[in-house]
Chains A and B, each alone.
Chain A
Amino acid sequence: MIVIIDYGVGNLFSLKSSFAFLGIEAKVSCRASDIRNADKILLPGVGAFADAADKLIKTGLADLLSEEVRRGKPLLGICLGMQLLFQKSLEYGEHAGLGLIPGVVKPLEGYVPRSLKIPQMGWNSLEIVKNSPLLQYTPPGEYVYFVHSYYAADCAPYVTSTTDYGVPVTATVQRSNVFGCQFHPEKSGAAGLNILKAFSETEG
């Protein structure tokens, strides 16, 4: 069973529906017992980094997630959920993340060419940098749906795919059993469903 962490951040309807569509058992919960009993953990997230990090720390979820990851349980962070996996973010100040993957979350502003809009909103293609179980059903050039104003930087050893937004932008990451994707697989049609299916098949 996959547990989709509900910590009051973002819309979980589509994620829940995606797994139901795939016939994969998934439960939306914030209870420690559910998280401990799950085979895999999915950390969603939309909104501001500081608020989300704060919620994870205050509820004790931050420690619990780190503990489960140490035990070898696969964890997938999506969008802001991926950014939270890193050491810190420079979104409105400097805020600590979960520190499960070395790297820093930085603004697209000042990184991508000025002519491009921020947020990056829309479908962009994946350039696969490194094989990853998460991308086992994903051919190079596959289109996925992005909505973001910040990106993961200083994490080159863990980048498994990038997307071209004038410059290469981190799209997926992996550090052993910790996975992340910047885009929304639950909004990326068949391509996204393949990524969620691949995650459900990863082994802890």
Chain B
Amino acid sequence: MITKRIIPCLDVKNGRVVKGVNFKGLTDVSSPVELASLYSVCGADELVFYDINASFEERKLFTDILRETARSVFIPLTVGGGINSLDDFDRALKNGADKVSVNSGAIRDPSLISAAAKRYGNQCVVLSVDAKRVNGEFRVFAKGGREDTGIEALGWIKSGIERGAGEIVLNSIDTDGVKKGFDLEMTAAVCEISRVPVIASGGAGKTEDFITLFQSVPEADAGLAASVFHFGEIQISDLKKAMAKAGIPTRTVI
């Protein structure tokens, strides 16, 4: 049976993981390459590298880090952050990414989704959506959740899938950072309208939050989190054991 995926997200700035601390056995706690390798060994099913750089020089450093990681970590890698053109897709894919996630770039120009899907295949194109409740509907936010676009999220996701997005990352701004669990209601609403895999993001604070997600919204395909993994609050290997115990299909590293 296909398993539910656990996906750590690494925010990378200036070649370092932001928020990475306190890992036993790591000589360099904020080295993206070391952290990626550790996560892979612990049973992470995929990794997301999020580029929070601004300058050209920093972008180049990010690409170097990606290449170096892809040379030694053999699980799917998704790259996000600052993806605005087919050239950005190309750069990420040529340097070891398997999937590329678009967010603000797709809001500015929705045809980027279809152009990328046509050139690289739907499986390469991940539509990442930051959504928040506004006036009784789910609203798409841009610029890292700072700007209300006025676009209704479910319709946006539906049209994104029609344009060729092969996967959805749903980040609920309402639950993000609160560490009280995933946004079950919003995730379920998105799963209802999506025939492509849906990755829930935002709000995981403990192991049980992942179990609640997969038990309450069995259509959700994966759970994504950042700081709870980086800070060691949740060990991926323990999380997977707990998922298996709860009867959730999960990949255990043999």
Contacts and interface: CB of A to CB of B under 8 A. Distances in A.
B76 A145 contact: yes
Contact of A147 (B70, B74, B123): B123
B105 interface: no
B91 interface: no
Most central of B40, B76, B252 by chain A CB within 10 Å: B76
Contacts of A119: 122-123, 166, 196
A135 interface: no
B11 interface: no
A7 interface: no
Given A14-B96, A147-B123, A189-B253, A120 B2 contact: yes
B197 A142 contact: no
B221 A121 contact: yes
A77 B222 CA distance: 28
B96 A189 contact: no
Nearest to A142: B254
Contacts of A116: 2
Contacts, number: 88
A123 B251 CA distance: 7
Interface residues of B, number: 31
A116 B72 CA distance: 32
Nearest to B195: A117
A188 interface: yes
Nearest to A185: B74
B74 A187 contact: yes
A136 interface: no
Given A122-B45, A124-B2, A142-B254, A193 B123 contact: no
B226 interface: no
A204 interface: no
Given A46-B121, A119-B166, A143 B3 contact: yes
A164 to B, nearest CB: 6
A17 B45 contact: no
Interface in B62-79: 70-72, 74-76
Most central of B40, B74, B98, B254 by chain A CB within 10 Å: B74
A13 B74 contact: no
Interface of B is mostly: loop
B12 to A, nearest CB: 18
Given A17-B70, A21-B74, A122-B197, A11 B98 contact: yes
A117 B197 contact: yes
B186 to A, nearest CB: 19
Interface string B87-120: 0000001111010000000000000000000000
A1 interface: no
B123 A192 contact: no
B254 A188 contact: no
Given A13-B95, A186-B74, A189-B75, A122 B166 contact: no
A7 to B, nearest CB: 15
A117 B196 contact: yes
B40 A189 contact: yes
A192 B1 contact: no
User: Lowest 7 CB-CB distances: which A-B pairs, in order?
Assistant: A143-B251, A123-B251, A17-B71, A147-B123, A124-B2, A123-B3, A13-B96
Interface of A: 11, 13-14, 17-18, 20-21, 46-48, 116-125, 139, 141-143, 145-147, 164-165, 186-193
Interface of B: 1-3, 5, 40, 45, 70-72, 74-76, 93-96, 98, 121-123, 166-167, 195-197, 221-222, 251-254
20 contacts: A11-B93, A11-B98, A14-B96, A14-B98, A17-B70, A17-B74, A121-B166, A122-B5, A122-B197, A122-B222, A123-B45, A124-B1, A124-B2, A141-B254, A143-B251, A187-B98, A189-B40, A189-B74, A189-B253, A193-B74
